[in-house]
Amino acid sequence: MSSPQQPPPRSTSRDLERYARLFASRTRVMTSSAMRDLMAITARPEVISLAGGLPDTSTFPPETFASVTAKIAEESCAKALQYGPTDGLDETKGCIAEVMAAEGMHADHEDMVVTTGGQQVIDLVTKTLIDPGDVIIAEGPTYPGAVPVFNAYQADVVQVDMDSDGMRVDLLEETLDSLEREGRKPKFIYTVPSFQNPAGVTMSLPRRRRLVEVANQRELLVLEDNPYGLLRYEGDPLPPLFALDGGVYVMYLGTFSKILSPGIRLGWVVAPPPVLEKINLGKQEADLCTSTLSQLMVQAYFEQADWRDYVGSLTEIYRSRRDSMLDALAEHFPREAEWTRPAGGLFIWATLPSYIDTTDLLARALRDNVAFVPGAAAFLDGRGHSSMRLNFSGCDEDRLREGIRRIGEVIKEQVALYSTLTGEVAAVKVEVPGTEIEGGRLVELPRRPARSRRAGGA
Amino acid sequence: MSRIAVLKGGRSLERQVSLRSGARVEDALERLGHDVVGIDVGPDLIRRLREEVPDAAFVALHGRNGEDGTVQELLEILGVPYTGSGVLACTRATDKVLTKHLLLEAGIPTPAFFAFTQTAFRELGAAEMLPAIAERLDFPIVVKPSGQGSALGIKFARTPEDVPAALVAAFSYDARVLLERHVEGRDLAVSVLDGAGGPEALPVVEAVPREEDFYDFEARYEIGRTGFICPAELAPGTTERAQGLALACHRLLGCYAFSRVDLMLDRHGELYVLEANPIPGLTDTSLLPQAAEAGGIDFDQLVGRILELALERAAGAPA
C-alpha cells in the first residue's frame, strides 16, 4: 500500500467530552473563576494595579546583574548549564544559611531543600502530607496563592480568624478541640506570621510562643511562610517560629523573591529529616532540580555585593510607599472603611461595609483603570467579600496615591448609593480625616450573618 | 480561501472567554483553509483592519463593545463583512430591559420585572418604591445589570433586606439594573442557526450545576463544574415549545446567523425567556457548539456556516 493515505480529518466533535472525561477528580476543584478573568484585565498598562504582590525589581542595579552573569560565564559556565542535585547546590545553601542567620535562625545544609520559589514549598509540603479530605489550618484571610494548592490536593481547609496580633491562637486551640471531638486532626498549620499576606498584620511574640507550644503538645506540624520578615519598616524584629521551636515541629519556608528577585524563582524549605526526605522525593518527581543558573547567580551575587544593603534600600523605598498609601487611604477612603497598618511586608488589608462586594467593586474600579485583589480570594469558606488586598510595593508613590484616590471614589459612590437605597443619610464626608489608626487596630473580618448598617454620621 | 480577521479579547469583562472563543474559531477557520489574522481588539482596531484588509471579520467578542453593536457599527462603516447579528439586533439583545419589553409586547413569556437606572434612585426617589416592588415580585428575586452578558453581577435577594446590596452590586456593571421574579426550575438554552430555509432551532441544552445552587459565572465557563445534557430530556412537547420560543425571540430581535436564547422551565411546565445572546460563547464549554454537535453540525461546519452567512449578507446588501 504505497499510495499516500490522507490522515483522518481531526474531528472537532465532542471536544468537551473528549478531554473532560479524562480529567482527574481533583480538577473539579482546580477552578478558574470570574475573579481570575477580572484579574486578567488588570494587566493592561493603563491600569494602576494594586493587585499584584510584585517587588519593585527596577531598584536592582543592572551593573550588578551584569557582573554576576559575567562571573558565572567566566567561572562556572558548564556547571550553570547543567542539572544539579535535587536538594540544591551547597553554595546556595550557604547563602540561605546567611539569610536565615540574619533573622536569628540556624539550619544545617542537610536539613534544607532549595526549591523553585516559595510556592513550590507549599505544593511539596501539601503533596507530602495531605490526602483528600485531610485538614489544614490556615489563617483567615490566608495567602491567596496557597488557596489553589490546597484545593488541588482536596484539603479541607479550616481558617482561623486573626486580629492585629496575627492568628488568634486561642481560637486555634478551640478549633483543634472541636476537630478532635469529630475525631479529626489537622496535618499542618499554615501561617505567615510576619506582615501577613494579605492582612499585613504580624503575630505577637506571646502568640508565637503559644503556637509553638500548641504544636509541640499536640504534635502538629506548622508551615511557617516567611517571605517578608526582613522587610520591616518599624519596630523590633520578632523571632520566627522556627527559631522558637528549633525546627522540631516547625517547617520553614524562605524565598529570595522579596529580598532579591522573584524572577530567579528561588526558595527553600527546612523541615525535620523524615519530612524533608519525602519533600525531596516529591521535588525530584516534580522538576528534578531547581535552576542551577539561578542558584549560581545567588551565590555570585552574595560574593560580589552585600545583599543586606539591597534589602536595606528596598526597606527605605517600601516604607515610604507604605506611608504614602496609608496617607492616601486616610484622605480618600470613606469613614465606613477600615484598614490595617502593616509594620512591614507588601500589603494592606482594607474592609468595607458588608453591603459592598469587592469582586463587583473591582469590575466597577476597572472602568476607572485601577485594580486590587478582592478579599474572597483569601478565603476558602465564602468569607472576605467586603475586603480587599492592596499592594504598595509595585507602584511609585504618585501612582499609589492616584490608585487609592480612584478606589476611594468608587467606594464612596457605592456607599452613597446604598444610603439612598436604604433611605439612610449618606455617611460620607470627604473632609473628615480617616479614622485614627494605630498599631493595635483590629483586622475586621466580614462575618457571614453580619448586616451592620450604620446610621448616618451627620 | 479568504482572508478572515478574528476579532477577540477586547476590554470587556468577558475578555478571557472571548480569547478562548477566538482561539477556537481561528483553529477552525485555518482547518477550513482560510488565511486567518487574529486581532485582540484595542485602540488600534481600525488601523489593524485597514492594514490587514480582510475579506470578512469573524466577531468572537463578548460583552461590552463587542456584542452590543459598537464593533458592528465600525465594521459597517469600514465596509468589512462581519459575522452574526447586525447593529440593531445587537443593541436590542444586549439590553436586557429592552429585550424583555419587546418580548412582553410580542406575547413571549418572560419573568415579571422592574428596571431602574441609578438616576431614578439618586434623583427621583425610586428607593421609596422598593417595598412595593418587592411585594409584587415575590422573593427570592434576581437582581441583574441590564447590559452584562455573562452571570457577572447577578445576585439573589432572598429577603427585602438583601435588595439594596444586590442593587449596589448590579450597578457596579451597568447604569441600569433589573429586578426580576426568580423562576425556580430547569436552566435551558436553545441555540438558533440560520439555514437555507430560514432560522432553525438546535437541540435544547440543559445546564445542571453540580454543586452550586445557582448556575453562576464560574460554573458557566468551566469544564467539569456544570453538567450539560443535550438534547435535554424534557416532557413531550416541551422541546418543541422551547425551540418555538427561541425562534420567535431570534426573529423578534432581528438576530442574524446565530443566537442563543436562555430559558427557565418551571415546575408547572411553563417556559420563560430570560435573555438572548447575539454572540454566544464558542469555547469548549459553550452551549452553542454543544447544541450544534447534537444537531449533527461539528464545530468546523458551524464556523464555516456562520462565515458563509456573513459573506452572503454582504453580497446581497444593497450598495
A44 in contact with B, Cβ within 8 Å: yes
Q: Which residue has the higher pLDDT, B70 or B129?
A: B70
In this structure, the answer to whether residues B198 and B283 fall within a common structural domain is: yes
User: What are the CB-based long-range contacts (under 8 Å, 24+) for A127-132?
Assistant: A127/A153, A127/A282, A128/A275, A128/A278, A128/A279, A128/A282, A129/A187, A129/A188, A129/A221, A129/A275, A130/A154, A130/A155, A130/A187, A132/A26
B299–A360 C-beta distance less than 8 A:
no
A32–B221 C-beta distance less than 8 A:
yes
In this structure, the answer to whether residues B273 and B219 fall within a common structural domain is: yes
B128 in contact with A, Cβ within 8 Å: yes
> Does A347 have pLDDT greater than 90?
yes
Which of A1-10, A398-407, B9-18, B91-100 bottoms out in mean pLDDT, i.e. has the lowest? Answer: A1-10
> Does B49 have pLDDT greater than 60?
yes
In this structure, the answer to whether residues A319 and A392 fall within a common structural domain is: yes
Reading the block at residue B262, the C-alpha cell is 436562555
Domain count, chain A: 2
In this structure, the answer to whether residues B151 and B221 fall within a common structural domain is: no
Confidence grade of residue B306 (pLDDT, cut at 50, 70, 90): very high
> Does A455 have pLDDT greater than 60?
no
How many angstroms separate the CA atoms of B172 and A126, rounded?
Answer: 38
Q: What pLDDT digit, counting tens, does each position of B257-296 carry?
A: 999 999 999 999 999 999 999 999 998 878 899 999 999 9
Helix B299-316 to helix B15-31 angle (10° resolution) is 90
In this structure, the answer to whether residues B97 and B203 fall within a common structural domain is: yes
The candidate with the shortest Cα–Cα distance to B286, out of B5, B11, B95, B17, is: B17
| Overall average pLDDT of the A287-303 stretch | 97
How many angstroms separate the CA atoms of B7 and B67, rounded?
Answer: 11
Task: Please identify, among A259, A287, A304, the residue that sits at the C-terminal boundary of a domain.
Answer: A304
Confidence grade of residue A436 (pLDDT, cut at 50, 70, 90): very low
How many angstroms separate the CA atoms of A91 and A303, rounded?
Answer: 10
In this structure, the answer to whether residues A388 and A323 fall within a common structural domain is: yes
Domain count, chain B: 3
In this structure, the answer to whether residues B281 and B197 fall within a common structural domain is: yes
- Quote the pTM value: 0.88
| Overall average pLDDT of the B24-33 stretch | 97
In this structure, the answer to whether residues B220 and B100 fall within a common structural domain is: yes
Catalytic residue IDs of B: 14, 150, 221, 260, 262, 275, 277, 281
Contact assessment for residue B121 and residue B92, using Cβ atoms and an 8 Å cutoff: no
Q: What pLDDT digit, counting tens, does each position of B65-106 carry?
A: 899 999 999 999 999 999 999 999 999 999 999 999 999 999
Confidence grade of residue A55 (pLDDT, cut at 50, 70, 90): very high
| Overall average pLDDT of the B130-152 stretch | 83
In this structure, the answer to whether residues A233 and A154 fall within a common structural domain is: yes
In this structure, the answer to whether residues B174 and B298 fall within a common structural domain is: no
How many angstroms separate the CA atoms of B193 and A128, rounded?
Answer: 52
In this structure, the answer to whether residues B224 and B274 fall within a common structural domain is: yes
Confidence grade of residue B308 (pLDDT, cut at 50, 70, 90): very high
How many angstroms separate the CA atoms of B134 and B120, rounded?
Answer: 17
How many angstroms separate the CA atoms of B319 and B317, rounded?
Answer: 6
CB pairs under 8 A between A and B: 112
Reading the block at residue A98, the C-alpha cell is 546567611
Residue B316 belongs to a domain: no
In this structure, the answer to whether residues B209 and B269 fall within a common structural domain is: yes
B285–A360 C-beta distance less than 8 A:
no
pLDDT at residue B223, rounded to an integer: 45
User: Which residues, 6+ apart, have CB-to-CB distance to B223 below 8 Å?
Assistant: A16, A19, A20, A23, A27, B284, B285
Which percentage of chain A shows pLDDT scores above 70? Answer: 86
Instruction: Write out chain B residues lying below 8 Å of A15, CB-based.
Output: 284, 289, 299
Which CATH number belongs to the domain containing residue A383 in this structure? Answer: 3.90.1150.10
Which CATH number belongs to the domain containing residue B240 in this structure? Answer: 3.30.470.20
> Does B123 have pLDDT greater than 90?
no
The one-letter amino acid code at A168 reads: R
Domain housing B231:
92-107+185-310
pLDDT at residue A52, rounded to an integer: 86
The candidate with the shortest Cα–Cα distance to A122, out of A257, A307, A309, is: A257
Q: What pLDDT digit, counting tens, does each position of A107-121 carry?
A: 999 999 999 999 999
Q: What pLDDT digit, counting tens, does each position of A140-168 carry?
A: 999 999 999 999 999 999 999 999 999 99
pLDDT at residue B154, rounded to an integer: 85
The candidate with the shortest Cα–Cα distance to B80, out of B48, B112, B107, B106, is: B48
The candidate with the shortest Cα–Cα distance to B5, out of B47, B42, B39, B44, is: B39
Residue A27 belongs to a domain: no
| Overall average pLDDT of the B141-165 stretch | 85
Q: Which residue has the higher pLDDT, A303 or B218?
A: A303
In this structure, the answer to whether residues A183 and A230 fall within a common structural domain is: yes
In this structure, the answer to whether residues B130 and B170 fall within a common structural domain is: yes
In this structure, the answer to whether residues A263 and A374 fall within a common structural domain is: no
In this structure, the answer to whether residues A256 and A269 fall within a common structural domain is: yes
In this structure, the answer to whether residues A42 and A73 fall within a common structural domain is: no
Interface confidence, given as ipTM, is: 0.88
Contact assessment for residue B193 and residue B292, using Cβ atoms and an 8 Å cutoff: yes
CA distance A362 to chain B (A): 8
A361–B164 C-beta distance less than 8 A:
no
> Does B1 have pLDDT greater than 50?
yes
| Overall average pLDDT of the A131-138 stretch | 96
Q: What letter would DSSP give residue B83?
A: S
Residue A23 belongs to a domain: no
The candidate with the shortest Cα–Cα distance to A316, out of A59, A99, A63, is: A59
Domain housing A365:
34-58+309-422
Confidence grade of residue A17 (pLDDT, cut at 50, 70, 90): low
